[in-house]
Each structure stands twice: as C-alpha cells, then as structure tokens.
Amino acid sequence: MNEWVLVFIPFLLYFLYKIVSGQAIYIPLPKATVRKILKLAKVKKGELVYDLGSGDGGVVLLAAKEFGAKAVGIEKNKLLVKISRWRVKRAG
C-alpha cells in the first residue's frame, strides 16, 4: 500500500463524516478572493463587518488590516476559534 493512502484515508473519513452529519467543511478562501469580495462590498474604514463561519479569521483580519473595518468573526468550531484568536494576537 502506498504511503499517501495512509495519509489520505483519515482526511477522506473526516470529510465523509462532515458531509453525512450535515456540517460544513472548512475551506479557507485565498486572500485575493477575500480582497475582491471586500472591494465589491465597498467596505470602508470604521464600518462593521461580520463574518459568519469565520474559520481561522482570515476575512476578519484582512477587513481590519487592509480596509480599516471593525470586524467580528463568528465561528462554532472551537479549534478554529483558538486559531483565529491566536492569529489576531499575533497580528497585533
């Protein structure tokens, strides 16, 4: 058996579990895509941006840092919340 199969199987099982249980799968957006979305939304400095299902906080951080928005992320996955908070602390 190839080594890649041993790595692939846990991810496959995880995604199948998420799909069967009706949960969303976390897939982060590229920064370029987030920038386009925020530009299309015409986000301005000081405006409030909510990101529902904020994942690792990428959208929140970009909205605050590059657009000057006040951004709030809402995420139910506890691990992603911890990652998001760590990223916010690291970003200052």
Residues 32-56 have pLDDT tens digits of 999 999 999 999 999 999 999 999 9
How much is the average pLDDT of 70-89? 94
Q: What's the pLDDT at 30? A: 95
Residue 33 CA neighbour count, 13 Å, CB half = 5
CATH number at residue 49: 3.40.50.150
Q: Which ranges in 21-75 belong to alpha helices (H)?
A: 31-40, 58-67
Domain assignment of residue 71, yes or no = yes
**Domain limits for position 37:** 28-91
pLDDT tens sequence across 1-30: 567 777 788 878 887 887 888 777 788 999
Contact 14/35 with Cβ under 8 angstroms? Answer: no
Q: Given a cut of 80, is residue 60 above it in pLDDT?
A: yes
Helices 58-67/78-91 angle, 10° precision: 20
HSE (side-chain half, CA atoms, 13 Å) at 6 = 3
Please indicate, yes or no, if residue 50 is contained in any of the structural domains. yes
Cα atoms found within 13 Å of the Cα of residue 54, Cβ hemisphere only? 25
Decide if 78 is inside a domain: yes
